[in-house]
Amino acid sequence: MKQSQNGENLEHVRHSFAHVLAAAVKQLHPEVQLGIGPVIENGFYYDFGNIQLSSEDLPKVEKAMRKIAEQKLAFKKELWSISEALEHFKKENQPYKLELIEELEKTEKEVGMVWMGDVFLDLCRGGHIESTSELPLDAFKLTKVAGAYWRGDEKRPMLTRVYGIAFETAEELQEYLKRQEEAEKRDHKKLGKALGLFVFSDLVGPGLPLFTPKGTWILNQIKEYSRELRAGMGYQLVQTPQVNKAELFKISGHYDKYQDSMFRVRSNYTEEEYFLKPMNCPQHTQLYASESRSYRDLPVRFADFSLLYRDEKPGELGGLVRLRSFSQDDGHCFCAEDQIEDEFNRVLDAISLAMKRYEMNYWIRLSLRNEDAKENYLGDDATWEKAQQTMRGLLQKRGVEFKEAPGEAAFYGPKMDLVATDSIGREWQLSTIQLDLNMPKRFGLVYAAADGNKQSPVMIHSAIVGSPERFLGVLIEHYAGAFPLWLSPEQVWIVPVSDKFNEYAQQVAAQLQEKQFRVSLRGENETLGKKIRAGEKEKIPYLLVVGDKEAQANSVSARKRGEGDLGSMPVAQLLERLQSELSPLA
């Protein structure tokens, strides 16, 4: 296979596999209606209408794909007129292709048609290998079948989507499958239920999680640590309402640029339009505007952990990592231009501390405006150029390595995104620092400069871990449910060998609780082995067995999660061990 440093050839391989997939399904089901088949991360998919497939059908489809690929069919692209393409797909009874062509007709006179030998012809803009003989047949696999609405619109027909993965070598495929197997074991939706951390209810609604006492405790620990970091940077905690007049979002730009993701709210007593807030920033502008400001007052820093609401499409919801209701460890700083560097470094230092505490590596992405779609953003070219160059310069001055990502900016300004890597190598976009020169001007925010003139402040948006709810889902998978001691809702179980030793177990519990450790006494009338297995299943960090020998010596027999039996030790020694395990995080 031809190699390419930028991975372009691998993309062509994956896209070619999508054509082979479509050809195989059409061979097996001649009545199938074809949708689209793009390249995605690690592979490809193709959407099919007018048929039903299940995971049991995948081996048969995969076998057909291999037979087609072994024919060494050449890929050849032709340009057809719109009328020729429409006529072809009308004869083939392909309504989805016809819709795509009719859409292209608004801007194009010709469309791409790609032959795969004389076996299969598809509407396609291109991006293929020369022949199916180049496909690494030992390095691909069909992985799953799912439902997908046509064009992502829940009002349109539901199609059958077949997913596949493809790599350059069989070894890469096997490594990926092993990672996926491990990811399946760590699935936060399964572990969250097994550990009793959160639930979803059909009566409450999709994307609206309910957190149990255990889950709430962990969630509050995440929030409290972010609050501590915010306080250390000089941020003051504020509280803002979840319902707002539409006028606020019209000024901020959310009404025009973000309305599709916002929940509209109806009042029984007024015709005014209201929305649930998707972000805190517009409200924080009003806190800033509530009093006169001078350069001596700057920076003004607000932190907010209010619940936010975004109207995500049902098909895009996924456990805790994509929700309709969530909070953010959100902060907004209003400052002068000569204070940007200091504020930027404060937040980046706090983010670095957080990632160290949560034991996550990371890299930095500089998210910029898409220069080919400027209409999707607020502000003029000069403002964007200034903001983007400022943020690029800050990262360069700090000596931070980063990757630029055009098109990933917020609609109001560029941003620095932190992409964290979890314990099995998956990436999660978490923290962010956003430089906003637009919103303060839109709201008419000013401060009195040293010369008495009115100046518009710079607004810096930032999040330390992003959404604590989403981050909890990430952490469940990062730790495989085995939270470090400081994050565990139950840190220690005390397990008496029989109910005769419950009184001593209570004494040990009292000593640990006095030092603020979270202890559960497991005095149930069950076998010792069953209690230990239950503690291991619930991933309790420390299990302390107490019996006659331990009661006589004021000791415990300790077991640590992941290490097994630690032997007998005095309670005082155990306390030292527990406190030392927490002390690096103090």
Catalytic residues: 281, 310, 328, 330, 332, 415, 461
Structure tokens at 503: 């009184």
Between CA 521 and CA 471 the distance in angstroms is 30
Structure tokens at 541: 């960090």
Structure-token match 């059908």, residue found = 57
- By CB atoms closer than 10 A (0-12, 13-18, 19+), residue 403 is exposed
Contacts with 294 (C-beta within 8 Å, 6 or more apart), sequence order: 447, 448
Structure tokens at 219: 């969630």
Structure-token match 């943020």, residue found = 391
Structure tokens at 39: 């390249």
What size, in residues, is the chain? 586
Contact 548, 501 (CB under 8 A): yes
Structure tokens at 206: 């999709």
Between CA 144 and CA 272 the distance in angstroms is 47
Structure tokens at 402: 């980063």
Between CA 416 and CA 405 the distance in angstroms is 10
Between CA 43 and CA 32 the distance in angstroms is 22
Long-range contacts of 224-230 (CB under 8 A, 24+ apart): 225/354, 225/357, 226/305, 226/329, 226/354, 226/464, 226/465, 226/468, 227/303, 227/305, 227/329, 229/350, 229/353, 229/354, 229/464, 230/303, 230/329, 230/331, 230/350, 230/464
Q: Which residues of 533-562 are buried (b: 16+ CB within 10 A; e: fewer)?
A: ebbeebbbbbbbbbbeebbeeebbbbbebe
Structure tokens at 306: 């209010």
Contacts with 453 (C-beta within 8 Å, 6 or more apart), sequence order: none
Q: Which residues of 280-303 are buried (b: 16+ CB within 10 A; e: fewer)?
A: bbbbbbebbeeeebebeebbbbbb
Q: Please name the amino acid found at residue 475.
A: L
Contact 16, 128 (CB under 8 A): yes
Contact 215, 198 (CB under 8 A): yes
DSSP symbol at 134: G
Q: Rounded to whole angstroms, what are the CA distances from 363 to 48, 422, 436, 468?
A: 38, 12, 22, 20
Q: What is the distance of C-alpha 466 from the center of its chain?
A: 9
Between CA 167 and CA 185 the distance in angstroms is 23
- The 3-state DSSP class for residue 386 equals helix
Residues paired with 331 in a beta bridge: 303, 462
